[in-house]
């Protein structure tokens, strides 16, 4: 194993391909061979080679996928559950949809970070140009005209320097904070970053909505694989990657141990918004729990996207406002002396 993992899109494509081949009546061994013949290259090619060896040795698909080391744990658990319940084809299709949705959400989050980061870099660059080129040029002109800018009535031009330096320092601190947060996130200290982000109500809503999306998707898949409700909920909790959501789910599990169903426990613990909680109750009573969970997963994914767009809609104008205000006031500070000189000459 080379230690590398398939990305969301790669896992989705693999699961969909395997599901379609299984649907066509092709055995797992033949399906892996067909996928190998496509010569996709990279991580998948290495993983398929390992999987082919394991399947030829008599291993199942889940064991072969685990041995390849390129698939996430959730996919391995789902495939294993699908094999044991005889619903592998359905599980593979569900996994394909799940990882495609994860890819969409991750791209939205990446865009939500990339655009403000680019705007932040632009602001820093503009302020640096103002401090190193524009303001010194005006200062030199005024010194030549007045003899000494510091001794003249136009010495308040210094406020332009002060304003630009303050804004530049603040933007550099913000950029450093984002960089440190990114390094912590990638180094495995995601919990510390999320704890800080949860202090913002909007960021906390995004994290919880993503956690609920992962939970409902995992729960629907576990139930489809034939797991009992309590076991399905317990196995779905680690998929949330969100501490507040996990706490709510543990309270739901406690209620389920008292004899409540998942829909009743979720409604009583306010796991979902009231209207969604009623949907879950109605779905369970009508025998359509999996279908309702699928609908909730789609609604939660849409809600994640809306919250991310709302965050971008707040951050983007804020950064643009800082840029325009700083540059505008700085230019006004250096232009007023020029206007005063022109008036005195006239």
Decide: 304 and 206 in contact? Cβ < 8 Å.
yes
Contact between 252 and 229 under an 8 Å Cβ cutoff? The reply is: no
286's tokens: 């009508």
pLDDT of residue 151: 47
Topology (CATH level 3) of domain 102-123+166-346: Receptor-associated Protein (1.20.81)
Q: Supply the pLDDT for residue 299.
A: 85
Per-domain residue ranges of the chain: 8-71, 102-123+166-346
pLDDT at 1: 47
Give me the pLDDT at residue 341, please: 60
Burial state string for 226-259 with b = 16 or more CB within 10 A and e = fewer than 16? ebebeebbbbbbebbebeebeebbeebbebbeee
In angstroms, how far is CA 60 from the centroid of its own chain? 33
**Which residue ranges in the chain fall short of pLDDT 50?**
1, 150-151, 153
């Amino acid at each position: 194993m080379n230690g590398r993992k398939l990305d969301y899109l790669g896992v989705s494509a693999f699961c969909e391909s395997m599901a379609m081949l299984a649907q066509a009546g092709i055995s797992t061994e033949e399906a892996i061979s067909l996928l190998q013949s496509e010569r996709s290259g990279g991580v998948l090619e290495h993983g398929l080679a390992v999987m082919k060896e394991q399947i030829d040795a008599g291993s199942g698909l889940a064991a072969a996928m685990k041995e390849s080391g390129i698939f996430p744990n959730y996919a391995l658990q789902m495939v294993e559950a699908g094999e044991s319940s005889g619903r592998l084809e359905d599980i593979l299709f569900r996994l394909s949809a799940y990882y495609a949705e994860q890819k969409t959400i991750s791209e939205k989050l990446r865009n939500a970070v990339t655009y403000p980061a680019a705007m932040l870099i632009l602001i820093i660059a503009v302020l640096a140009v103002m401090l190193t080129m524009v303001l010194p040029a005006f200062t030199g002109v005024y010194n030549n005209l007045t003899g000494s800018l510091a001794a003249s009535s136009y010495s308040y031009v210094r406020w332009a320097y002060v304003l630009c330096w303050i804004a530049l320092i603040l933007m550099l601190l913000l950029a450093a904070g984002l960089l440190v947060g990114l390094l912590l996130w990638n180094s495995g200290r995601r919990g510390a970053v999320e704890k800080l982000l949860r202090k913002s109500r909007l960021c906390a809503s995004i994290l919880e909505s993503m956690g609920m999306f992962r939970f409902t998707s995992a729960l629907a898949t576990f139930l489809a694989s034939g797991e009992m409700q309590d076991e399905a909920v317990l196995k779905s909790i680690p998929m949330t990657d969100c501490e507040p959501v996990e706490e709510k789910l543990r309270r739901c599990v406690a209620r389920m141990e008292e004899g409540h169903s998942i829909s009743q426990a979720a409604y009583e613990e306010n796991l979902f918004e009231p209207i969604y909680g009623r949907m879950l109750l109605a779905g369970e009573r009508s025998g359509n729990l999996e279908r309702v969970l699928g609908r909730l997963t789609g609604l939660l994914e849409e809600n994640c996207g809306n919250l991310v767009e709302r965050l971008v809609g707040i951050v983007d104008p804020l950064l643009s406002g800082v840029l325009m205000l700083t540059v505008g006031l700085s230019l006004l500070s250096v232009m007023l002396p020029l206007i005063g000189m022109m008036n005195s000459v006239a």
